[in-house]
Structure 1
Amino acid sequence: MSLFALGLNHETAPISVREKLAFSPEELRAAVAELVATHGVHEAAIVSTCNRTELYASARDEAILLDWLAQSRQLDRATITPYLYRLPERDAARHVFRVAAGLDSMVLGETQILGQLKDAVREAQEAGGLGASLNGLFQKAFAVAKDVRTQTAIGANSVSMAAAAVKLAERLFPDIAELDVLFIGAGEMIELCATHFAAKRPRRMAVANRTVERGQALAQQFGGEAFALAELPDRLPQFDIVITSTASQLPIIGLGAVERAVKARKHRPIFMVDLAVPRDVEPEVGALPDVYLYSVDDLAEVVRQGRAERVQAVEAASVIVEQGADEFMQWLDNRALVPTIRALKDHAERLRRHELERASKLLQKGEDPAAVLESLSLSLSNKFLHAPLAALNQAATSQHGDLIDAVRRLYHLHDEE
């Protein structure tokens, strides 16, 4: 079995492709269980966010992962292959370390991905997908991320997706304090967006959520109101800014609903940011003349501002990542030696116990202790040397050089000896 990572992200695939390969939080555990039950897969974990879907596995080969992903998402393998990266062993380790450290994110240096990665690991653990190799990989990733955070300024001047949404809104509306803002969903991303918009003191803030109680809990933090998602078609015309991020697998805001809202607003503009993958808003909405719709990919230009100032931090962080990858591969290589080391120790222990029992019986019979010790040491020496001496004597002439070098290294032999 070898270690592999297979996936796609915001750099390799547009949102129209990413949303087809996304896994919802509710289906993630079952998906991991299904993947690890696949013949040829020993361990598995799945990371699925708005910017990436990635499979990490200890498997016979990467083709198994590609076939499973295509079948799981009911897609043709050939249609998704051009967007995927396939990373073996060290490349896989290096990649997940960069992801954990925020070096592979749309928002360079952001911390949200680390929490998402930890959630994915927890789901994989619950699904029975983690073994020694993947657990070691992810624990090392978390350690590398911590080192990057504490030893570099990678997070300095970082513009989050939430902050970018505010910046874009301010380009359209001179004063957010005069506007009504609606947040759809009640997850972490919506909470971050609500925090940033609340700092601008909008006229009104509201939260629409499937579970009204959860929406109320979030709305109360910002002095806003909450209502059920079922009321959205009637309430949509009331809001100038709409920020949505749910886990729905289908759009919750259709073209018709927005057309009616624009008409009811007498064509006053609506600013919409869809942070969900799969998307919450039908893409056709963006073509309406009075609607300004942005997806996560559309925010790229804003969130990437300030990258130049962090080039030095990125270089320092990359050094930490490379060192971490080297250390992990050393650990992975050492794990391959464990069965042989254990077998060698067990063999030596059996020899030791056998000779000790024989010596104890001789002493009980009244044999001379010095003679018993001499016999014990000779017998142990002969038995320990039997295997290497037999290998040297029985080896073909072509093998002599390698065997001699190996024995000399193992026993620290020098020419004078």
Structure 2
Amino acid sequence: MHLFAFGLNHHTAPLAMREKVAFPAETMGTALHDLLSCSKAAEAAIVSTCNRTEIYCNTQDPSAVIEWLATYHQLPVNKVEPFLYRLPEDQAVRHAFRVASGLDSMVLGEAQILGQLKDAVRTAEQAGTLGTLLNNLFQRTFSVAKEVRTRTEIGANSVSMSAAAVRLAERIFPSVADTRVLFIGAGEMIDLCATYFAAQHPKSITVANRTLERGQALASRLNGQAVLLADLPQVLPQHDIVVTSTASQLPILGKGMVERAIKARRHRPMFMVDLAVPRDVEAEVGDLDDVYLYTVDDLASVVQEGRERRQTAVVEAETIIDSKVGEFMHWLSAREAVPVIRNLRDKAERLRRHELERALKLLEKGESPAQVLEALSHALTNKFTHAPTQALHNAQPPEREQTLALISRIYGAHDNE
């Protein structure tokens, strides 16, 4: 078994190159079959995301698999190779463990990659390209990722503005799923933040924007509705969470409008996140009872704290991974001895059958059972000890001592016995 992994990611290759070697989900099965038929790989799994394309395989010819990747995407090998990392044996194991644990991600500790890895393994299983080696590698990979996330805080702290906003909202409300969320603006920051909140499946999502068309484009992806900024006084009281980020030079939400909204809500709490610079929400709004207002600076401090805690968790995670890599490599080396063990047992079984048949024939002829058994035991002893005895006799002086020590260890034969 020869484990080998290679690929490129956001650390080694620009987006333009990552796009060229990506594998669409709908063609992954076909690609896996093509890989096994066109290269010397016995097993293979492909991980393809926006940040990485990696191939894990069981092969004796890594260069043939690398060449396949370039050929499959109609690229010269020399255009792809400068961006690739090559990971044989234990390096491949450690890399798989780190990727699944979120240590190799653009956002340290993110959990999405684990699901993407599981999808890749499921696809390889369905395509029939996953064998004993890779199946064991990935099952242990998932186990290590679970242990890292259970025993460390690698994923427990927010490290992005959007994640921090969701985490802060969860301090105010028992569940975001029980809230109504209003997004003001439809730019990149709102788009990203809305994705995080939408993943919590709130009761409703509303997008308020200066132009209805752009607001509807975002709302349709979120299964929400769109309104104009002019409608804010009417819709604001209906929402528990408000996230705003526009390019307005003046505040959109003044103290008076929010005060009226809180009154209409009968003082039920409202969580507000102002990601805009200049601010969309008047600073005085933060003084109102039942309003929890956070600015971009507030979130930045939460994010920084989360990053520091995750960096501390990295040391613990790497320690866990190192020990698990050692366990897997021990299993792998033991697997490499399986063919020899099988051949040894097969040879011993042939010798046993041969001597047994001979003994049975002697018994049929009326020979003494005691003498037949004695002859059988002597014959088996001689044949089982023939190979090591010959090895000792034929060993040259430089290797005789090592051969003697090895045979003594295998057979438990020592001078004091």
Q: Establish whether residue 179 from structure 1 lines up as the match of residue 184 from structure 2.
A: yes
Q: SS at 1:45's partner residue?
A: strand
Distance in structure 2 (CA, Å) of the matches to 1:404 and 1:60: 33
Q: CA 1:2–1:408 in structure 2 vs 1: closer, same or farther (change >3 Å)?
A: same
Deviations 1:73-125 (A, max 9, x none): 23333333332211111001100011111111122222211110011011122
Distance in structure 2 (CA, Å) of the matches to 1:308 and 1:381: 67
Match of 1:45 in 2: 45
Match of 2:149 in 1: 149
Gaps of 5+ in 1: 168-175, 184-188, 227-234, 236-266, 270-300
Match of 1:54 in 2: 54
Match of 1:69 in 2: 69
Match of 1:289 in 2: none
Displacement of 1:48 after TM fit? 0.7
Structure of greater Rg: 2
- The one-letter amino acid of 2:198's match is A
Displacement of 1:356 after TM fit? 2.6
Match of 1:95 in 2: 95
- The one-letter amino acid of 2:24's match is S
- Contact 2:207 2:216 (8 Å CA) reproduced: no
Distance in structure 2 (CA, Å) of the matches to 1:315 and 1:402: 41
Distance in structure 1 (CA, Å) of the matches to 2:32 and 2:161: 28
Q: CA 1:103–1:304 in structure 2 vs 1: closer, same or farther (change >3 Å)?
A: farther
Distance in structure 1 (CA, Å) of the matches to 2:124 and 2:161: 27
Structural RMSD (CA): 3.7
Deviations 1:302-355 (A, max 9, x none): 978622112332111111111111111111111111111011111112222222
Match of 2:198 in 1: 194
Deviations 1:220-252 (A, max 9, x none): xxxx259xxxxxxxx9xxxxxxxxxxxxxxxxx
- The one-letter amino acid of 2:182's match is A
Gaps of 5+ in 2: 168-180, 209-214, 228-246, 250-300
Match of 1:355 in 2: 355
Match of 2:176 in 1: none
- Contact 1:42 1:59 (8 Å CA) reproduced: yes
- Contact 1:106 1:304 (8 Å CA) reproduced: no
Displacement of 1:25 after TM fit? 1.0
Q: SS at 1:50's partner residue?
A: coil
Match of 2:234 in 1: none
Displacement of 1:178 after TM fit? 5.9
Distance in structure 2 (CA, Å) of the matches to 1:207 and 1:333: 55
Displacement of 1:21 after TM fit? 2.2
Match of 1:325 in 2: 325
Match of 1:106 in 2: 106
- The one-letter amino acid of 1:112's match is Q
- Contact 1:166 1:197 (8 Å CA) reproduced: no
- The one-letter amino acid of 2:406's match is A
Match of 1:23 in 2: 23
Instruction: Output aligned runs, 1:8-407, within 5 Å.
Output: 8-159=8-159, 163=163, 177=182, 179=184, 181=186, 192=196, 194-195=198-199, 202-203=206-207, 219=223, 224=224, 306-407=306-407
- Contact 1:180 1:203 (8 Å CA) reproduced: yes
Distance in structure 1 (CA, Å) of the matches to 2:326 and 2:55: 21
Distance in structure 2 (CA, Å) of the matches to 1:123 and 1:373: 57
Q: CA 1:206–1:142 in structure 2 vs 1: closer, same or farther (change >3 Å)?
A: farther
Distance in structure 2 (CA, Å) of the matches to 1:303 and 1:196: 20
- Contact 1:6 1:65 (8 Å CA) reproduced: no
Distance in structure 2 (CA, Å) of the matches to 1:33 and 1:165: 44
Distance in structure 1 (CA, Å) of the matches to 2:37 and 2:303: 39
- Contact 2:3 2:58 (8 Å CA) reproduced: yes
Distance in structure 1 (CA, Å) of the matches to 2:203 and 2:154: 25
Displacement of 1:11 after TM fit? 2.0
Deviations 1:275-321 (A, max 9, x none): xxxxxxxxxxxxxxxxxxxxxxxxxx997862211233211111111
Displacement of 1:157 after TM fit? 0.5
Distance in structure 2 (CA, Å) of the matches to 1:40 and 1:330: 25
Q: CA 1:303–1:28 in structure 2 vs 1: closer, same or farther (change >3 Å)?
A: farther
Regions of 4+ moved over 6 Å: 164-167, 301-305
Matched-pair identity in %: 52
**TM-score after normalising by structure 2:** 0.68
- Contact 2:9 2:52 (8 Å CA) reproduced: yes
**TM-score after normalising by structure 1:** 0.68
Q: CA 1:29–1:342 in structure 2 vs 1: closer, same or farther (change >3 Å)?
A: same
Q: How many residues align?
A: 327
